[in-house]
Amino acid sequence: MVVAASVVVAVGTVTGMINALDDERGANEARPDATLLVPLPDVPSPSVSAKASSSASTSAKPKKTASPSPTKTGEKRSAPVSPSLYRHPESQVLDWVHDHPDDPRTEVIASRIADQPAAVWFADFTPSTITSRVRAVTSGAAAQGRVPVVVPYAIPDRDCGGASEGGAPDFDAYDGWIDDFAAGLGSREVVVVLEPDSIAQADCLSAAQRADRFEALARAGRALKTADPKARVYYDAGHSDWNPATQQAALLKEAGAASADSSDGIFSNVSNFHATSAEIAYDRQVLDALGGPASLGAVIDTSRNGNGAPADGQWCDPAGRKIGRAPTLDTGEARIDGYLWVKLPGESDGCRGAAGTFTASYAYDLAR
C-alpha cells in the first residue's frame, strides 16, 4: 500500500497542504491542513500550488517504534544532489527546517533530506485546479532546467478502501482528471510515477473492475505522452517481495505498460524498504517478462531502503531503516533509468506520526 497525507490518511499515499504544527506536537511534527489539495514531498496533503506529497508502503500490520533522542549534528556529510532532478520549493520537511533553525536535528535533516529532490504527489481529486498545480511544478523545473517527478494518485477505489482510500468517483471522471493533469505537463522532460499500488494491489478488485482499471491506466499513459512527448511514464510493479515477476508482468501488460505509446517502463519499491540490489534484479525480470520495446526501463524508490527491508516484514515506520541512494537519473545500471525519492523520508506511514505527516524524530533516525 502507499501512504500519503491529506484529509484522508492511509497505508498508501495521500497528499495535501502541510503547515508546521503549532499544537502539542510542537517541534516534532508537521501536519496537513484540513483542505485537500496537492503537495510535493508530502504524502498527505496538497497545496494550492503543489506541495510535497509522498508515500507508499506495502502490507503488514503497523507496529509502533520508539522516538529518537537528538545527538550532535554535523557528523554526516550530505549526499551529492542530482544536477538534473528538480527539488520543489514547497514541502513539509522544508517547512520544518525553516521553522526550527535551532533544533539539534535540523542540520542533519536539512543536509541529508531537505536538500534532495523528491517527487510531488497529486492525491486529491480536484479537477478545477489540477492543471494549474501540475503546471506550477513543471514550469518551476523548466525555469531551472531540471526534471520534475510527479505522481498522479487519484485512481477510483484507491488503496482498496484502505488507509489511503479515495480517488476519482468513477473512470469517466478519472479520464477527465488525467487529461487535465496532462495539460499541465508542458513540453519538457518530466518523470511520471503513475498511480502507485494500482496494479500490484489490484487483486482486491473483481475481474471486471480490474479490466476497467487497467483500461483507464493505459488511456492515462497515452494521454500523458500525447500531451508531452518528452514525458517518461512508469507503471506500478509493486516490489521484489510482492507478486512474482511473471505475474506482475502479465498485469502490467494488461494496463498498457508494454506499449511505447503509453509507457516508458515500470517503477518499484514506492514507500517501501527493499534493497536496491533486490529491486534491480526484480525489475529486470519483470521487464524481460513484459516484453515490449527494448527502451523500456525502471525507476526505483530509494528514499528509505538504505538498510533494506526489516526481517519481520513491518512496513509502518519500522525501526532501524536509513535513507538510501541519492536521487539520480544516472544509475550506471542497464535498464534502470533512475533512483528516485518518491516517498519523502520522514513522512510517516502512520506509526511514528499521523500518516503522511512529517515527523522530525523519524526523519532524524533515517538520516543520521
Q: Which of these is catalytic: 124, 264, 337, 349?
A: 349
Q: What are phi and psi of 184, to 5 degrees?
A: -95, 0
Q: What are phi and psi of 310, to 5 degrees?
A: -65, 145
CA distance 164 to 213: 17
Mean pLDDT within 157-178: 92
For the segment 129-150, what is each residue's pLDDT rounded down to a tens digit? 999 999 999 999 999 999 999 9
CA distance 278 to 286: 12
Which H or E run includes 113? none
Mean pLDDT within 290-317: 96
Return mean pLDDT, the chain: 83
CA distance 364 to 368: 6
Residue 159 catalytic? yes
The model's pTM is 0.83
Mean pLDDT within 57-63: 32
For the segment 261-289, what is each residue's pLDDT rounded down to a tens digit? 999 999 999 999 999 999 999 999 999 99
Q: Which residues touch 8 (CB under 8 Å, ≥6 apart)?
A: 14, 36, 163, 164, 165, 166
For the segment 342-351, what is each residue's pLDDT rounded down to a tens digit? 999 999 998 9
CA distance 209 to 214: 9
CA distance 83 to 279: 24
Q: Which residues pair with 301 in a beta bridge?
A: 340
Residue 179 catalytic? no
Mean pLDDT within 22-30: 40
CA distance 287 to 110: 36
For the segment 305-334, what is each residue's pLDDT rounded down to a tens digit? 999 999 998 999 999 999 999 999 999 999
Q: Select from 302, 306, 264 the least CA-distant residue to 56.
A: 302
Q: How confident is the model at residue 78 (pLDDT cuts 50, 70, 90)?
A: low
Q: Which of these is catalytic: 159, 228, 236, 283?
A: 159
CA distance 165 to 240: 24
Lowest mean pLDDT among 16-20, 112-116, 233-237: 16-20
CA distance 288 to 329: 21
Beta carbons of 181 and 130 less than 8 angstroms apart: yes
Beta carbons of 273 and 265 less than 8 angstroms apart: no
Q: Which of these is catalytic: 95, 103, 197, 301?
A: 197
CA distance 147 to 230: 11
Lowest mean pLDDT among 52-61, 297-306, 321-330: 52-61
